[in-house]
A and B are shown apart, each in its own frame.
Chain A
Amino acid sequence: MPTINLGPASRRLGGALLIAFLGAALVFFVMRAGHGDPALAALGDQATPEAIAAFHKRWGLDAPLVVQFWRWLSGALVGNFGMSMTVAGGVPIADLIGSRLPNTLFIGFYAMAIAVAISLVAGTVSALYHGRFIDSAATGIAVLGISMPDFWLSYVLVYLLALGAGIFPSYGFVSPGDSLAGALYSGFLPAFAIAAPMAASFTRILRTALIDTLYRDHVRVARSLGYSRAFVFVHYVFRNALIPYVTVIGLQVRYLLGGTVVVERIFGIPGIGALLVDAAFGRDYGLVQACALTFLICVLIVNFLVDLLCAALNPRST
């Protein structure tokens, strides 16, 4: 019998799909177990039994739970999450998410780009000059950065750069669909607030990985063969050090997307994070489910891409 060799990429894809399915099940059943009847949430505690029964019939809630889950999931697969009940009465949840997801993704990518840019420079410099003043200074700033939660840093930034210096707006966001320059400008402070703690941890991992690689035998051999310091650094040190660096970046994606929740709220960015908070306050359970699942899928997609990138950087791992 011929064996089918599913490549590592497709095996990872399968794993990601399994997790997405489990995540959908978790979100659906945990929410239902915690809150029982959506009819009570929508109609209030004083609803008459007749009204509740009518509500059940209308939304298909009289079917067994597994059937309901199947309907919800098959709807979700084609982008139909049902209607928002309290936050935006009667608007399809998919429309809400579709209009807000680009803003969250924009802030997420923006923050990631800032964190990567800062950490590449700071990590390389402090590894090359490790033990010297500039390294200690970078390490000190990094520890401070990790010790500033994003919502606290947001206010420091607003106070200094928006209210104080007046360089950036303190509130509001121009959607990247309307104006990319406007989005880059109005999104800088929120993106930076999310990026700073991440830049700190990226810098430290890159620094450690670079220093660790600098003393490996293959590097010493390359130097003894007469290759220049710069050449050896780029080709023999940096590439090896990128593997742990990219891995950590992949792991941090979930913190990054988590960070958007608070920061979107502070800066008034209409994204999924702010939507999730509204849904949580409004007890719009269908919307909470859909937002949580959207976040999960974003993380899975990014992690899948990071895995591919790691495999490309390190052929030994496959």
Chain B
Amino acid sequence: MRAFFANKLAVIGAAVTGFVLLAVIAGPWVLPHSPTEANFLALLEPPSLAHPFGTDSFGRDVLTRILYGARVSLAVSVTGVLAAALLGSAAGLVSAYVGGWTAAVAMRISDLLFSFPSFVLALFLMVVLGFGIANIAASIALIYLPLFARLARNMALVVKEEPWVQAAQLMGQSTFSILTREILPNIAAPLFVQIAIGIAFGIVIEAGLSFLGLGVQPPNPSLGTIMADGREYFQRAPWVLTLSGVAISIALLGLNLLSDGIRDVMDPKLRARL
């Protein structure tokens, strides 16, 4: 933990991520505007005291929309990535420790999902499942499932040969207890790093899909739909696209710095050299 606080980038990443979370959770309560209600008396107003990020073509407060939208984007991404982490790690652990033909089939399927361009897979699933918030989360989960399965499997294959795991086997611990109490804690840290990276990339996928019009549907805000709106009238009101883009970059920056920081802290060999 001390190593974490000694790592400046990690602390900055944690602070930025914390700020984003706070803004996304508390912001919409503090701000007086509605994210979806139109106000035709205040169309495309530039940033001012009343509307720090200006208003969009329906007169909606852009800051309010960005905070609500980021809430949606983050929720979709976190749900998808956590589902993938849970199922994928479980599949990877079982396939590494128990093996057998089901494991082989599971790893083939993960190879297959892993070979699709991630955004193409997401788009394909949106066509099959239909456009909508829950389906974006499902797409993100399917994209990340093979990654977590592989990561957990590769690490578990190493850890399961360790003496303490063999000791646990000899003491008659159940397979489930060995997996969750002996192996999982020892491979958890890289999984957490991957979760942080995954959430950042999940935000990009959601925003990309919604930006194309295949994800969250208007008038519901998400970072992607706000940017798509902003593109329509970029020449007249550049602040909508610009500020929503800056918002997405801040969120990604925090998550990327945080995951880098955790990784550096966890790898003392690298830390000593860098």
Using a CB-CB cutoff of 8 Å, which residues 226-267 of chain B contact chain A? 227, 231, 234, 238, 241, 245, 248-250, 252-253, 256-257, 260
Do B124 and A212 have beta carbons less than 8 Å apart? no
A257 within 8 A of B: yes
B115 touches A254 (CB 8 A): yes
Residue of B121, B123, B200, B249 most packed against chain A (CB within 10 A) = B123
Q: Across chains A and B, which 10 residue pairs bring their CB atoms closest together, nearest first? A: A258-B119, A34-B128, A258-B117, A147-B252, A257-B117, A152-B245, A147-B253, A149-B204, A254-B117, A295-B120
B207 within 8 A of A: yes
Task: Give the complex CA separation of A211 and B111 in angstroms.
Answer: 31
Verify B245–A265 contact, CB threshold 8 A: no
Q: Which residue of A lies closest to B208 (CB)?
A: A262
Interface residue A115 (Cβ < 8 Å from any Cβ of B)? no
- In the assembled complex, how far is the CB of residue A33 from the closest CB belonging to chain B, in whole angstroms? 8
| CB nearest to B122 among chain A residues | A258
- Does A70 sit within 8 A of B, measured CB to CB? no
- Of the 9-residue stretches A74-82, A179-187, A236-244, A277-285, which lies at the interface with chain B? A277-285
* B124 A146 Cβ-Cβ under 8 A: no
**A174 smallest CB distance to B (angstroms):** 23
> Which residues from B are CB-within-8-Å of A256?
117
Give complex CA distance A257, B121 in Å. 11
Task: Flag the segment in A20-28, A95-103, A116-124 that touches B.
Answer: A20-28
Number of interface residues of B (CB under 8 A): 44
Q: Which residues of A contact B256 (CB under 8 A)?
A: 143, 146-147
Contact A261 B115 (CB under 8 A): no
CB proximity of B249 to chain A, nearest CB, Å = 5
Give A30's nearest chain B residue, CB to CB: B128
Task: Write out, one digit per residue, whether chain A residues 140-157 have a CB within 8 A of any chain B CB (1) or not (0).
Answer: 000110111111100110
Given contacts A147-B252, A151-B208, A155-B245, contact A285 B274 (CB under 8 A): no
Q: Can you list 22 A-B contacts (CB < 8 A)?
A: A19-B115, A23-B116, A33-B128, A143-B260, A146-B252, A147-B250, A147-B253, A147-B256, A152-B248, A156-B245, A254-B114, A254-B115, A254-B117, A255-B117, A255-B118, A255-B119, A258-B119, A261-B123, A273-B120, A276-B120, A280-B127, A292-B124
Q: Are B270 and A18 in contact, with the CB atoms below 8 A? A: no
Looking at the assembled complex, report how far the CB atom of A117 sits from the nearest CB atom of chain B, in whole angstroms.
22
The segment out of A3-11, A50-58, A296-304, A306-314 that lies at the interface is: A296-304
A277 adjacent to B112 (CB under 8 Å): no
Q: Verify if A215 is at the interface (C-beta below 8 Å from B).
A: yes
The residue from B123, B129, B245 contacting A276, defined by CB atoms under 8 A apart: B123
Q: Which residues of A sit under 8 angstroms from B121, Cβ to Cβ?
A: 292
Shortest CB-to-CB span from B233 to chain A, Å, is 13
Q: Residue on B with the closest CB to A197?
A: B204
When the two chains form their complex, are residues B273 and A215 in contact, meaning their CB atoms are under 8 A apart?
yes
In the complex, what residue of chain A is closest to B253 when comparing beta carbons? Answer: A147
Contact A19 B117 (CB under 8 A): no
Interface residues of B, dominant DSSP: helix
* Chain B residue at minimal CB-CB distance from A300: B115
A249 to chain B, nearest CB (A): 15
Name the A residues within 8 Å of B119 (CB-CB).
255, 258-259, 261-262
List 8 additional A-B contacts (Cβ < 8 Å) besides A34-B128, A257-B117: A19-B111, A35-B128, A144-B249, A149-B207, A255-B119, A258-B120, A281-B213, A292-B124
Q: How large is the interface on A (under 10, 10 to 19, 20 to 34, 35 or more residues)?
A: 35 or more
Known: A143-B253, A212-B273, A254-B117. A277 touches B212 (CB 8 A): yes
| Binary interface encoding of chain B residues 198-233 relative to chain A, with 1 for a CB under 8 A from any of its CBs, else 0 | 001000100110011110000000000001000100
The reply to whether the CB of A288 lies closer than 8 angstroms to some CB of chain B is yes
A contact residues around B181 at 8 Å (CB): none
Residues on A with C-beta less than 8 A from B126 are 280
Q: Is the CB of A152 within 8 A of B127?
A: no
Question: How many angstroms from the CA of A136 to the CA of B174 in the assembled complex?
Answer: 49
Q: Are B127 and A285 in contact (CB under 8 A)?
A: yes
**Complex CA–CA separation, A212 to B252 (angstroms):** 27
Give CA–CA (A34, B126) in the complex, Å. Answer: 10
Asked whether A280 lies within 8 Å of B273 as measured between CB atoms, the reply is: no
Q: In the bound complex, how far is the Cα of B123 from the Cα of A265, in angstroms?
A: 14
Cβ B245 vs Cβ A258 within 8 A: no
Q: Cα distance A261–B121 when bound, in Å?
A: 11
Residues of B within 8 A of A144 (CB): 249, 253
A208 at the interface (CB under 8 A from B): yes
State the CA gap A23–B249 with chains docked (Å). 34
Query: Chain B residues near A254 (CB, 8 Å)?
Result: 114-118
- Contact pick for B127, options A15, A143, A283, CB 8 Å: A283
Q: Which of B112, B115, B238 gathers the greatest number of chain A CB atoms within 10 Å?
A: B115
Question: If the complex has contacts A27-B124, A31-B128, are A211 and B274 also in contact, measured as CB distance less than 8 A?
Answer: yes
Q: Please determine whether B118 and A258 come into contact, CB atoms closer than 8 angstroms.
A: yes
| A223 CB within 8 Å of chain B | no
